[in-house]
Amino acid sequence: MNVHVSSVQWIAIGNLSDIPVRGARCVVTPLGKIGIFRTASDTVFAIEDHCPHKGGPLTQGIVHGRSVTCPLHNWVIDLETGQAQGADEGSVETLPIRVTDGDVIELGLEPATLAAVADG
Ligand code: FES
């Protein structure tokens, strides 16, 4: 999903300190399971927790640089673009994410997504 950041609603989902450096957490959102990844330099990314190969849990993979290696068959997924790297083809959705007050992680969700949940 490539949404315009200006159109999203920011939802606090936890704290940066809850995620180990080079680690990840899975959060359940109206869009499904989303992986929140923290790099060695404290950059945070949000992508679907569902490998484009066979659905492996990317949050259980190894974070290196700005990528994660899937624990099942070692596909490498770029955390910024959601694209599989190297010879592998496929991608996962990326979501807007930011850190405020130095420690609060906020995920950007489209108002339409949130409205659908409220209606459902
Ligand atoms: S399921 Fe991720 S590499 Fe196969």
Pocket of ligand 1 (CB under 6 A): 51, 53-56, 70, 72-73, 75
For ligand 1, what atom is nearest to the CA of residue 55? 1
In 3-state terms the chain splits into helix, strand, coil percentages (rounded to 5) of 15, 40, 45
The string of pLDDT tens digits covering residues 65-116 is 999 999 999 999 999 999 999 999 999 999 999 999 989 999 999 888 777 7
Which residue is listed with tokens 């974070």?
A: 63
Judged on CB neighbours under 10 Å (0-12, 13-18, 19+), 63 is: buried
Question: Using one digit for the tens of pLDDT, what is the confidence trace for 2-50?
Answer: 566 778 999 999 999 999 999 999 999 988 999 999 999 999 999 999 9
pTM metric for this prediction? 0.91
